[in-house]
Every structure is written in structure tokens, then in C-alpha cells.
């Protein structure tokens, strides 16, 4: 029997956003993608980020949270 974890279990970045979870997150790239690991570049591409200071809204899903946590040092994340 599987037990369902809370939506923010194991995600340190999202835990800091508070208990009230919204459906969307506003993600802004604040550092360049050049000189980064290929996996980190792929995460930025998956989030839809191409330029510095570009902001996108992504759904609050485990897949997106994982990509955000991997490149958290390059991003600014806010709840929408």
C-alpha cells in the first residue's frame, strides 16, 4: 500500500515558500546558463527559460520542482 506524501515533502526550496501552496510558480533566471553543466542547461530549457531576467510561470508539479531545485542557484522563485 502506497502512502501519499505532502506536495512539498523533500523539496527544500519550496518548503521555504510557506504552507499555502499555489498551482503556479513564477520563475526568473538571474544568472547566465553559459559555462554550466549540460544537465543544468537542460533544466533551464525544460522550464522555458532562455534569457537572464526572463520570467515564466510554471505549474507546481513534482517534475518542475525537481528542475527548480537542481538549478536553484540560478533562479528566483515566487508563488503566483
Nearest-CA neighbor of 29 among 71, 70, 76, 63? 76
User: Edge-to-edge strands of the sheet including 55-59?
Assistant: 55-59, 24-29, 75-79
Does the pTM surpass 0.85? The reply is no
* Predicted confidence (pLDDT) at residue 71 exceeds the cutoff of 70: yes
Tell me the CATH number of domain 21-79, given options 3.30.565.10, 1.10.10.10, 3.30.1390.20, 3.65.10.10: 3.30.1390.20
* Predicted confidence (pLDDT) at residue 17 exceeds the cutoff of 60: no
pLDDT at 24: 96
* Predicted confidence (pLDDT) at residue 4 exceeds the cutoff of 80: no
* Predicted confidence (pLDDT) at residue 72 exceeds the cutoff of 60: yes
Task: Work out the average pLDDT over 24-47.
Answer: 97
- Per the CB < 8 A criterion, the answer to whether 29 and 54 are in contact is yes
Domain ranges of the chain: 21-79
Amino acid at each position: 500500500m502506497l502512502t501519499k506524501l505532502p506536495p512539498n515533502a523533500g523539496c527544500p526550496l519550496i518548503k521555504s515558500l510557506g504552507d499555502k501552496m499555489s498551482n503556479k510558480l513564477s520563475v526568473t533566471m538571474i544568472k547566465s546558463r553559459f559555462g554550466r553543466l549540460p544537465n543544468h542547461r537542460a533544466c533551464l530549457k525544460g522550464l522555458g527559460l532562455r534569457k537572464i531576467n526572463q520570467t515564466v510561470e510554471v505549474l507546481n508539479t513534482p517534475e518542475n520542482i525537481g528542475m527548480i531545485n537542481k538549478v536553484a542557484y540560478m533562479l528566483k522563485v515566487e508563488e503566483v
